[in-house]
Structure 1
């Protein structure tokens, strides 16, 4: 059975003539002209659904995402999903029936309530607290929902029991005052007016039956309620002995250990939860349960997340490099793909998926920062003598606190040297190669004119004129005058403000931004 995209004679969108649109293996007798026609159709119209299945991991991809984008192939290979076959991970199992109904149903008010407030429901049952601050003001206006985090992103866990007079939070809700657990969970979130109590009750039962971490804390609750076992500690185990390429559903004994008295040994990533200490402990980003602690509704069985010990899989046609272990970027790239037979719990989690993606990015940054911290000698940071040495003065007396400074190179995205390097590169290109600046500007300018005159993004255009000027720094810009058809005109200033608006920042409210605009973006002098 072949599945070759073809252009329909009576429509401008691409269609796929096949009884099985998910079939990815194409017949070898497909000619290069057919493949070129596929590229032409897909490039010029809607992309359609991702129907090309990766032969290594089964991810459904678009044809333009193939490994060699310049070469036509009837059986494309993909790099984005599994690194060309290097990454092998177990697929996520279908969630419990309750979670399936809440995630994928669209009829009952309960499912709509759950889908709208999924982040709140997840926070109720999280075992760890997010260390960052969520900015909720950004979603006050219209537009798609946006998640913005502030501060250092990390996950923390407290003691098994709250201090006297404090309310239980996160993992403590599984242990303390379980007779009032539902009300305690609803009171643990700030905005609970839209929360359905019946959904909370059902989710509690679902996690108690299926989630391995919930079972651990229920066992700790039973031991703490026994008068003979008061000095109970819980060791949250970070490492696994099983092969992460095959197994990702740990057992109770693999994720935690209940200990009476002192703990003899523990890994540096293991977390020891005391009975009633009141202290918060940061969970290492490389802890196997780092994500499942925070997202019990994405990993309802307590599945393991990223594990540093997972090895890459090498096959005949993959390049063997020095890197033999899985990275966080590999793990996230594999998980954020759709496959036949794999649960869509993660991909259909709506706003919770946004939070998960932000967490994943911070995990990647933590991994890169750890590498830079361990490999300062390879970066030759010894030449930064003024940074490495702290000057002393005669006025200083007694011991001084001096930490180990870590230098971030210009290759680390977001660092000061990275931003400086971008600026210097831009200025060098502008000064040394004005031909490249002019050519790239011409390409972008032509596309803009096509949007205005051919695609009519602002309305039907009757005529237009423009002039191109070069600034003192050698950078070009264009002044464009467009004459619109009477049916496409914008009669009032309010109509024009809907499509374009430029204002000078208020110097009293945004003084720094006002000074930047005044210095760099204004022709002439303003008061």
Structure 2
């Protein structure tokens, strides 16, 4: 009797019925059927003998070879693509730990979920800031605890100049730091300032950053500088003086900016008003560090409603953070970093209306009840809130390119100063006297008085000796567990990544938005 032919690959009545039944089954029925088939196949393969297994594997190889020999070029290309896709799907489910030691050049690692950054489409429910999916929830407003008023749109012509849409505005943005230097009211200084104007413009400071302010009027036979230029009697001479700071500035732009600042900057208006009422040269002017708006709670952050500048009267209470300006002398005063006008005096292009910056009278709010709490807003939280991207409001600070870079560096120095001050004045809370190096010093010298007023930086402060020591110990631990390293890998950020380029404003380059580069990296 002849052997019955196999029905594999043939369209029979039973196979058609089976295909019809499978098209009608629900997803749950399909999952149950496939799981049953897996269990049955696993049971049969677990109980098959070696000879049966050899026959099955040989038969599978023979059929696969015959099928591949008969396939067309397009079918082969499709099969290889499907195979790569299956391998990539399996790899995306796996961990990338130690993947560098098993690098596969055929695998596209950028599609792995641990590598893909995604779009900036996560919107904070409290402040409406846009974030990447894996960024922390409290990055923008500490989960609703920080609430600040929105940015005020700059007046014309500054609004057009920062747009970068016209030839004049492109020139302005290219030299924006020089234009700001023409109008700044305080001097900017640091222990060391490093500037790189190559393919990736960079502004760095080393050491301590400080702002200083002088008198309202220069002494005889001295040229006016910074704030003093605003009160020159001759308008043309004032413009000539500002144009002397740089040969690349445009006189017409400086003239328009001068008119704008004299009309909109409340500090300049108040200075001029006080100066006009002064009859002698021995009076002083005060800018309050902490003001209380009329008919408002002192902890509420709101726009200026009264003059911030006033003449000093005998008996007036003055705090060490207040700015005291004389009418005419050569003395200079350092502006406190926590003064509300610290930013506006140095960056009139960023704050043309002299908007308040960070100060100590900002308090957090309860995100549930919106009630003001007794906990202050930190410097880092304040500026993190200010540089966020929001669809419902325009942020002209992000359009200011190199001036924005200088501002960020300056404010980060302020953040670091606040952290250091906290550590300095909370040594007892940090239990600094328990640190082993301090105990060793006392045991060796026998005199605790010889230690002086040394401030111990904890390991949580980045760059401190204890922080670096912890890193060294971690490195030794890795060597002890995995052996000596074979690779020295440096993580860098490519400014051409799509996640960065998609968020650039019109006319911007990646070098203009270090905030995006830092967030993506």
TM-score range normalised by the length of the shorter chain: 0.5 to 0.7
Distance 1:403 1:209, change over 3 A: farther
The equivalent position to 1:301 in structure 2, one of 324, 348, 353, is: 353
TM-score normalised to structure 2 length:
0.64
CA distance in 1, matches of 2:190, 2:134: 37
Count, aligned residues: 371
CA distance in 1, matches of 2:444, 2:328: 41
CA distance in 1, matches of 2:441, 2:243: 50
The equivalent position to 2:424 in structure 1, one of 360, 366, 373, is: 373
Gaps of at least 5 residues in structure 2 are 1-110, 490-521
Distance 1:216 1:317, change over 3 A: closer
Indicate the residue corresponding to 2:172 in structure 1: 114
TM-score normalised to structure 1 length:
0.63
Indicate the residue corresponding to 2:310 in structure 1: 257
Indicate the residue corresponding to 1:86 in structure 2: 145
Aligned ranges 1:234-253 → 2 under 5 Å: 234-242=285-293, 247-253=301-307
Indicate the residue corresponding to 2:124 in structure 1: 54
CA distance in 1, matches of 2:298, 2:127: 16
The equivalent position to 1:289 in structure 2, one of 337, 341, 356, is: 341
Q: Identify which of structures 1 and 2 has the higher relative contact order when contacts are C-alpha pairs closer than 8 Å and 6+ apart.
A: 2
SS of the counterpart of 1:412?
coil
Indicate the residue corresponding to 2:255 in structure 1: 201
Aligned ranges 1:308-327 → 2 under 5 Å: 308-316=360-368, 324-327=375-378
Distance 1:475 1:184, change over 3 A: same
CA distance in 2, matches of 1:300, 1:166: 28
Report the Cα offset of residue 403 of structure 1. 6.8
CA distance in 1, matches of 2:218, 2:452: 34
Report the Cα offset of residue 213 of structure 1. 1.2
SS of the counterpart of 2:312?
strand
| Structure ranking higher in helix proportion | 2
Distance 1:56 1:222, change over 3 A: same
Distance 1:173 1:88, change over 3 A: same
Contact 2:190 2:207 in 1 (8 A): yes
Q: Deviations over 1:45-66 (max 9, x none)?
A: 6734x3433221111223333x
CA distance in 1, matches of 2:185, 2:113: 46
Contact 1:289 1:302 in 2 (8 A): yes
Report the Cα offset of residue 249 of structure 1. 2.3
Indicate the residue corresponding to 1:423 in structure 2: 472
Distance 1:244 1:53, change over 3 A: farther
The equivalent position to 2:411 in structure 1, one of 354, 360, 367, is: 360
CA RMSD across the alignment:
3.4
Instruction: Work out which of the two has the higher radius of gyration on C-alpha atoms and give 1 or 2.
Output: 2
Indicate the residue corresponding to 1:145 in structure 2: 201
Distance 1:135 1:366, change over 3 A: closer
SS of the counterpart of 1:130?
strand
Contact 1:93 1:342 in 2 (8 A): no
Q: Does 1:185 align with 2:242?
A: yes
Indicate the residue corresponding to 2:183 in structure 1: 125
Gaps of at least 5 residues in structure 1 are 1-39, 68-77, 394-399, 439-469, 480-527
